[in-house]
Amino acid sequence: MGVDFYGCKCCGESKYSEHVGSCQNCGKSLCTSCLINDNINSSWAHEYGMHFEEDKLEEIMKELSMIKEDFYDVTGKPYWSEGTIIDDTSILEKYCPFCSGDKINKETLFDYLVEKLDIDVERAWEDYKKQR
């Protein structure tokens, strides 16, 4: 039995899998030490996933691509109690330093600059290889 380590794209540290998750928007791996807007203050990545909040059900259904029947049994009782984690596989975008703009997302910046400066990426790559 081994222990899984995952790297954080923000700080570069490798941490136990329980302390690293992926942003559901940009997909970058993040350790909980690097998260922003930290209203949870936990070291466990799964706690930064989607929580069941009945008053935000429409938003949650859209985010998780689910329907109302996925949340309630036939008697109308919710499957989860208020605040229970229903998506523990990813970190919500609001905690991501890349999505918020606190940290530079180099891939997104690259795409922006290529478009803004009208750069022919293939030609630029060939020029770069010649200079190496």
Q: Is residue 123 part of a domain?
A: no
Task: Express each pLDDT in 27-84 by its tens digit.
Answer: 999 999 999 998 889 999 988 888 888 888 888 888 777 788 888 888 888 888 888 8
Say whether pLDDT at 1 is over 70: no
Work out whether the CA dihedral 100, 102, 103, 106 comes out positive or negative.
positive
Altogether, the residues listed in the chain come to a count of 132
Of 4 and 94, the structure prediction assigns the larger pLDDT to: 94
Q: Kindly tell me the burial class for residue 4, based on how many C-beta atoms sit within 10 Å of its own C-beta (0-12, 13-18, 19 or more).
A: exposed
| pLDDT of amino acid 58 | 85
Mean pLDDT of the chain: 88
Q: Is residue 64 part of a domain?
A: yes
Q: Is residue 14 part of a domain?
A: yes
Q: Is residue 62 part of a domain?
A: yes
Say whether pLDDT at 2 is over 70: no
Q: Is residue 126 part of a domain?
A: no
Q: Is residue 128 part of a domain?
A: no
Q: Is residue 113 part of a domain?
A: no
pTM of the shown model:
0.71
**C-alpha span between 108 and 129 (Å, rounded):** 23
> Into how many domains does the chain fold?
1
Tell me the residue range of the domain where 32 lies. 5-103
Q: Is residue 98 part of a domain?
A: yes
* DSSP track, 31-61: EGGG-SS-SS--S-GGGGSEE--GGGHHHHH
